Amino acid sequence: MRIMGLDFGSKTVGVAISDGLGLTAQGKEIVRRERENKLRQTCARIEELIEEYGVERIVMGLPKNMDGSEGERVEKTKEFKEMLERRTGLEVILWDERLTTVAADRYMSEAGIRGEKRKAIVDEIAAVFILQGYLDSIAKEG
């Protein structure tokens, strides 16, 4: 079963897809939009990727504050989750994404990725970390 990982941001959505066995996450792309509330094209592109890769489930990062509280970004994420579930008919699982951006930044530093290149791919790398965290958790339950 292939699973899609999403890092939903105000202007971008990082996308990762699992391998067919559900063991590893690979970054696929970043879906960009000009305005935060313009989500129709974003959803359409996600639907194309679901079709292309045969995705059966979606895991999306839940951006809680470090103290566990929920702010405005969490509300927008939950609204997007509901929209995706309606449009795709797939289950969307919310996954605590605290520290994924920190981990993505550390990974890029260690890999020698700098400047503009770093900004361009941080959301995709974060989606990989979100999805891999989820895949690892279900493997442990397995």
Q: Convert 15-42 to b/e letters by CB count within 10 Å (16 or more is b).
A: bbbbeeebeebebbbbbebeeeeebeeb
Nearest-angstrom CA–CA distance, 126 and 73: 16
- The pTM of this model reads 0.90
pLDDT in tens, the chain (142 residues): 899 999 998 889 999 999 999 999 999 999 998 777 788 899 999 999 999 999 999 999 998 878 888 888 899 999 999 999 999 999 999 999 877 777 777 888 888 888 887 777 888 889 999 999 999 999 887 6
Query: Phi and psi of 89, rounded to 5°?
Result: 75, 5
Domain ranges of the chain: 2-141
Q: Identify the CA nearest to 90 among candidates 98, 81, 78.
A: 81
The CATH code that applies to domain 2-141 is: 3.30.420.140
Q: Look at the alpha carbons of 55, 58, 59, 60 in this order and tell me if their dihedral is positive or negative.
A: positive
